[in-house]
Amino acid sequence: MPRHPLTVALLGFGTVGSSVARILVERPELTDRLRLTHVFNRGVARKRASWLTPDVVWTEDFDEVLAARPDVVVEVVGGVDPAREWVTRSLEQGASVVSANKMLLAAHAPELLIVAARRGVQLRFEAAVGGGVPLIHGVREGLSGDTLVGVAGILNGTCNYILSRMAAKGEPLDVVLSDAQRLGYAEADPSADVDGHDAAAKLVVLAGIAFHRHIKASDIPTKSIRQISSADFQYARRMACTIRQVSQARTRDSGFYASVGPVLVPQISAFGRNEGANNIVSIFGQYGGESSFSGAGAGGPATAVAVVSDLLALTTVGEAREAEQWRPGMVVAPAAMPYYLRFVVRDCPGIIATIAAALAKQDINLDALHQETGYPKDALPFVITVEPCEEAALSTALNEIGRAPWHAEPPLALPMLLDANS
């Protein structure tokens, strides 16, 4: 049983790290359970906070942190290296680790969990997915009696802010992205968010918790939201839909179908109603059906709450978990699904016939044709929806269609997630 209070060393004093320290300071009722002893950060002279008690040691030397033999190391530095070394050394020394580092966990969670199990300590990472949403605890403890078959959710608050604002105000993506950067929702280089890499790392962690399988982030197909235009939202509304970046992993055959990218969802669905920078995740079980979790997915205070919750769990008398192991998982092709196909063309005769013929070659049936008025003839957007088809067949057809001379922009294909269980 852990002694009280647990001594805590904090690696990183940025937005999340300082928020963790602030909670520990401003909640005196926690002092008999948790005691912050060290803050490790570069440039501690400029980071030092007067509101922390004088007995907290500030250091730029990680060896000094380990020499104090803390009970718990909180890693909120981010990135894979050198965080991997620091977390490994902490676990090897017998300290439990609480991490908010999705990139580290996506790359190395299986080996780190093995180290933790071997040393009889814990690696906890509630804050790595969903920010302040108690998602990992909910899946790991609340749904442990079910056999989970799928996860799907909005895991990136930046993309959700951009897409929901585009839907509401009809603004182009570059304008909204620029504003998101100004407001602090998006980084100066937004690639990790808008191109799906941030959400893919979170999906790896979520799949590990749900299925006890490790899917490599590099094996997850990701598609950017950069091609989404105001016209796409206009056509989506015509179909009572909107567009969101959705991350999903579902059991199929001997592996998992996994993807991150923009999809059409019904406006009245939980995903369609999710606005701003909030996250929402649905978990699908063989017996219990769908369970959903939602809330603030980003920001220092929300993420810090998840970190402190993990710390408090470590202080609970008798708190123990079976050693967790993520076995290798394999990403397989998705099941057939309907698609939204948007074309922007220089108008001329025969375009629809050419598209229909290429789709027919792959046994893909057209569902509907949508064309709004008021667009210029040299950049005319229209949409074709198709009945459920295999992704590979659709790619073959679009490659053929893409060679036609009348394209003003490359074609856009979005899956249509019209049924929560699809």
Q: Which pLDDT score, from 0 to 100, does residue 192 have?
A: 93
Q: Using pLDDT thresholds of 50, 70 and 90, give the confidence band for residue 278.
A: confident
Kindly report the pTM of this predicted structure: 0.90
Tens of pLDDT, residue by residue over 47-57, are 888 899 899 99
Which residues form the catalytic set? 202
- Alpha-carbon torsion angle 308, 311, 317, 323, nearest 10: 130
Looking at the chain, the whole-number percentage of residues with pLDDT higher than 70 is 96
Residue 255 pLDDT grade (very low, low, confident, very high; cuts 50, 70, 90): confident
Cα separation, 300 vs 194, in Å, equals 20
- Of the two residues 331 and 381, the one the predictor is more confident about is 381
Predicted local distance difference test score (pLDDT) of residue 1: 46
Tokens of 384: 């074709």
Contact indicator for 64, 57 with CB cutoff of 8 Å: yes
Whether the pLDDT of residue 321 is over 70: the answer is no
pLDDT of residue 3: 60
Q: What is the CATH number of domain 6-128?
A: 3.40.50.720
The structural domains of the chain, with segments of one domain joined by +, span 6-128, 135-296, 337-415
pLDDT digits (tens, 9 = 90+) for 13-24: 998 999 999 999
pLDDT > 90 in the chain, percent: 77
Q: Residue 283: pLDDT band by 50, 70, 90 thresholds?
A: very high
The amino acid at residue 238 is R
Structure tokens at 187: 């980084």
CATH T-level topology, domain 337-415:
Alpha-Beta Plaits (3.30.70)
**What's the average model confidence in pLDDT over 281-289?**
94
Q: Is a pLDDT exceeding 60 seen at residue 296? A: yes
Does residue 419 register a pLDDT over 90? no
Element (H or E) spanning 284, and its range? strand 278-285
pLDDT confidence of residue 176: 93
Distance, in Å, from the CA atom of 182 to the CA atom of 19, rounded to the nearest integer, reads 21
Kindly report the number of other CB atoms within 10 A of residue 388's CB atom: 14
Instruction: Give the mean pLDDT of 204-231.
Output: 94
| Residues whose CB is less than 8 angstroms from the CB of residue 391 and which lie 6 or more positions away in sequence, other chains included | 333, 334, 337
pLDDT over threshold 60, residue 395? yes
pLDDT at 317: 55
CATH code reported for the domain at 135-296: 3.30.360.10
pLDDT at 136: 87
